[in-house]
Amino acid sequence: MILVVDDQELVCEGIRRMLEAAGFAAVTALSGRTGIALFRRHASEIRAVLLDLRLPGESAAAAFDEMRRIRPDVPVILFSGTPEELARREFARAGLAGFLQKPFGFRDLIGKLREVLGEEPQAGARRPSPDA
């Protein structure tokens, strides 16, 4: 299971669909606070977190810190429309597993996730249709 945290419902839905097309289960949260609650509830099942840099209310940094407090080994991939260098400087968290530059596609997302999880691509994984 992969937790996706982004304040835009369409972004969450698009990422969820890509993850499911690649064989992953996904849960989504539209805020850092909801992301923390879902993480707390499913901590043993969540294999990785995809976290947007810009979140209303509970910041991405606060959400990251709380999730890592609950389970220090969880890989967290930050994503943002901000250039990577600026995003990493602003976020500046030790233990960040990776970064994805928005907008990203299926190959970028699944490739980064598999890299972080130490997995080889699955033979049966299918790409989403162009309208996904």
Average pLDDT of 7-36?
A: 97
Band of residue 93 on the pLDDT scale cut at 50, 70, 90? confident
User: Distance between CA atoms of 43 and 93, rounded to whole angstroms?
Assistant: 20
Token pair, residue 54, equals 């810009």
- Provide the pLDDT for residue 122: 53
φ and ψ at residue 28, rounded to 5 degrees = -125, 155
Q: For residue 4, is pLDDT > 60? A: yes
Give the helix ranges, DSSP H, for the chain: 9-21, 32-42, 60-70, 84-91, 106-117
Return the higher-pLDDT residue of 91 and 105.
105
- Which segment of 8-17, 68-77, 80-89 scores lowest on mean pLDDT? 80-89
Percent residues over pLDDT 70 in the chain: 90
- Provide the pLDDT for residue 121: 58
Q: What is the CATH number of domain 2-117?
A: 3.40.50.2300
- Provide the pLDDT for residue 18: 98
Q: For residue 27, is pLDDT > 80? A: yes
Q: For residue 82, is pLDDT > 70? A: yes
Token pair, residue 72, equals 């220090």
Domain spans in the chain, listed from the N-terminal domain onward: 2-117
pLDDT tens string 41-73: 999 999 999 999 999 888 899 999 999 999 999
Which among 70, 73, 71, 4 is positioned nearest to 35, based on CA atoms?
A: 4
